[in-house]
Amino acid sequence: MTVTIYDVAREASVSMATVSRVVNNNPNVKPQTRKKVFEAIERLGYRPNAVARGLASKKTTTVGVVIPDISNAIFAEVARGIEDIANMYHYNIILCNADKKKDKEIRVINTLLEKQVDGLLFMGGAVTEDHIQAFKTSSVPIVLCATTEEGDTYPSVDIDHIGAAEDAVSTLIQNGHRHIAMISGTLQDPSNGYARFQGYKNALEKAGISFNEDLVRIGNYRYESGLEVTQHFLDLQDRPTAIFAANDEMAIGAIHAIQDKGLRVPEDVSIISVDNVRMASMVRPLLSTVAQPMYDIGAVSMRLLTKLMKKETVANSRVILPHEVILRQTVAHIE
């Protein structure tokens, strides 16, 4: 049978109110009494009912996190940053995978809000009007993590994706490349997709290089699409000297497609991307990429949410963290 607070009170020969004060770390309990209650809790194996405590305090000390793709290393790193800060501030995490599907994202948001979470962190692609409508039903704070929405209605933590892509392509241009292809993410995705595509175009324009739509193909952020799109680029009569991939996983697919063709990276084709997942420093040659501070994005998002949940003053609700170009072995200088 389930052990109740009444059983603990009887075992320790104290009132239920005293047990409640001990469980909730109320300082107004004598050390000797506190010790007696904890001993009774241990003997009986009592676990406080978090739901009941939440109903009483109107807080569950639980935060819901919507993650777009739990198998993607980039989001795993963000989740680690979220969890570390959540633990520091004594919050529990409910992590929900949405498979990059809008309908599932909306369903998960509503499910988490029904579970009476104290706050919500949303990681995803495009924040649509449907998302906004779901957010509007919330009475708890919401922070967008590694994404933003056009109206800046909700607090967010991210990098400058246009700037990151522009810096990556500018690195290729500074190394003599002018025939540069791009493996893009979906242009409906405002950050990894459209923003990085815009950064690619900006870099070309600033260097006086004409945009050629034949040198842009849409991938799905997966290794296989990087492989497939690169095979298309290599079959062009005038193949590119360099490829910018919207993320590392597609870039690694590009490296292997080039090698499968009997060509060399970077001697025949240079590669650069954005993200800097662990695999970027494991593939050979080592992948040049623009590093996102993914752990920090998660940590800062969670810290921002804790401030909002505690109704503390927030000086800046839209946080842009710095990115950094990491040059390794996949970019060659050409004349």
Residues 259-309: tens digit of each pLDDT: 999 999 999 999 999 999 889 999 999 999 999 999 999 999 999 999 999
Among 117-121, 132-136, 146-150, 180-184, whose mean pLDDT is lowest?
146-150
What does the mean pLDDT of the chain come to?
Answer: 89
pLDDT tens, position by position, 313-322: 888 889 999 9
In terms of Cα–Cα distance, which of 297, 47, 259 is closest to 157? 297
Q: Kindly indicate the confidence band of residue 55, based on its pLDDT and cuts at 50, 70 and 90.
A: very low
Q: What share of the chain is helix, strand, coil (3-state, %, to 5)?
A: 45, 15, 40
Region of residue 274 (left: phi > 0; alpha: psi -120 to 50; beta: else): beta
Q: How far is CA 142 from CA 36, 119, 258, in A?
A: 41, 6, 43
| Cβ partners under 8 Å of residue 28, min gap 6 | 21
Q: How far apart (Å, rounded) are the C-alpha atoms in residues 161 and 202?
A: 12
**Better-scored residue on pLDDT, 330 or 112:** 330
pLDDT of residue 284: 95
Residues contacting residue 258 through CB under 8 Å, at least 6 positions apart: 230, 234, 264, 265, 268, 269, 271
What is the residue type of 87? N
**Adjacency order of strands within the sheet including 216-218:** 216-218, 180-184, 242-245, 270-275, 288-291, 324-326
Question: Which pair of tokens denotes residue 124?
Answer: 């995803």
Q: Over range 166-182, report the average pLDDT.
A: 97
CA distance 257 to 89: 46
CB contact at 8 A, 104 and 98: yes
Q: What are the beta bridge partners of residue 326?
A: 289
DSSP 316: -
277, 289, 301: which is closest to 76 by C-alpha?
A: 277
